[in-house]
């Protein structure tokens, strides 16, 4: 059965081919060299004894199963996030399924100074350059797309470009591969996006915050990885209530990434502050 992520990979490769015909990789490298430094994503969200777990709030106009907002006003959204006290912002730039764009990423960078995660289906280093030029601090790297050697290479390329790699696993069998390359930032997606079939509209809402707890308790390797100095662990997706936060706040996760729930909240500032109080 063809998966959603396999379908997206083919679509992204076509998009990249089109974009490269407009601006070459060499031209993007020249632009990257003039981009000013951005705040460290890892340093901003890393937990310490005096800091509660951090929140990364996401700009996400829609998902395959829902429309989060009728019209995306990204500048207003991220100012609300900033006022709520989030430590970083994730910007989904996929247009077809999530209603994003690189222009949205650029607009968010112009609006706030918080570190930004370029959340995209990265299948080619060219996309990393596209995100860095527009002010991203970090880039999402899906383990699903890479075997171990390839994963190590794309992480090195990410860092060479000046980005931090946020390495995401959404299936248990991906975790050992991710841990063997010893990433600095690891994200556990409570939604098994790598198992979603090619039409995601009816199955996208799978998942539960319990996944983060179950993976933590069930993996000696994950717990050993986290004992290394400076490693950052993120729980993403399916987090929308204080009860969800309390479910794993006592585990050594550094941050929650919250997307749909934050976008759909009637009062985003109050919603996010309430989650922070649940710490």
pLDDT tens-place string over residues 66-112: 667 777 899 999 999 999 999 999 999 999 999 999 999 999 999 99
Answer with the residue of higher pLDDT: 9 or 240.
Answer: 9
- The total domain count for the chain is 1
Q: Are 234 and 56 in contact (CB under 8 A)?
A: yes
The pLDDT, as a whole number, for residue 66 is 62
Q: Residue 228 phi/psi, 5° resolution?
A: -70, 145
Q: Are 72 and 93 in contact (CB under 8 A)?
A: no
The pLDDT, as a whole number, for residue 119 is 97
The pLDDT, as a whole number, for residue 204 is 63
Q: Tell me the CATH number at 179.
A: 3.20.20.70
Q: Cα 74 to the chain's mean position, in Å?
A: 17
Structural domain that includes position 116: 4-277
| Residue 248: pLDDT over 70 | yes
């Amino acid at each position: 059965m063809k998966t959603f992520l396999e379908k997206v990979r083919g679509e992204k490769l076509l998009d990249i081919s089109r974009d490269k015909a407009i601006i070459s990789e060499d031209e993007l490298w020249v632009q990257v060299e003039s981009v000013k430094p951005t705040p460290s994503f890892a340093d901003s969200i890393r937990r310490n004894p005096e800091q509660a777990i951090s929140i990364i709030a996401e700009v996400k106009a829609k998902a395959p199963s829902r429309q989060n907002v009728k019209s995306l006003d990204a500048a207003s959204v991220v100012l609300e996030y900033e006022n709520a006290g989030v430590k970083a912002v994730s910007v989904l730039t996929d247009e077809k399924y999530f209603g994003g764009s690189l222009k949205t990423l650029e607009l968010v960078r112009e609006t706030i100074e918080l570190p930004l995660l370029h959340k995209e289906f990265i299948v080619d280093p060219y996309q990393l350059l596209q995100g860095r030029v527009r002010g991203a601090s970090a880039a999402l790297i899906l383990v699903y797309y890479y075997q171990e050697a390839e994963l190590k290479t794309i992480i090195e390329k990410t860092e060479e470009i000046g980005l931090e790699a946020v390495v995401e696993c959404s299936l248990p069998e991906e975790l050992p591969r991710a841990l063997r390359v010893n990433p600095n930032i690891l994200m556990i997606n409570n939604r098994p996006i790598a198992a979603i079939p090619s039409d995601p509209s009816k199955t996208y809402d799978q998942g539960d915050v319990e996944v983060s707890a179950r993976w933590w308790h069930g993996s000696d390797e994950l717990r050993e990885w986290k004992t290394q100095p400076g490693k950052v662990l993120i729980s993403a997706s399916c987090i929308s209530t204080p009860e969800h936060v309390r479910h794993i706040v006592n585990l050594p996760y550094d941050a929650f990434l919250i997307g749909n729930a934050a976008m759909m909240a009637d009062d985003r500032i109050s919603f996010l502050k309430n989650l922070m109080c649940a710490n």
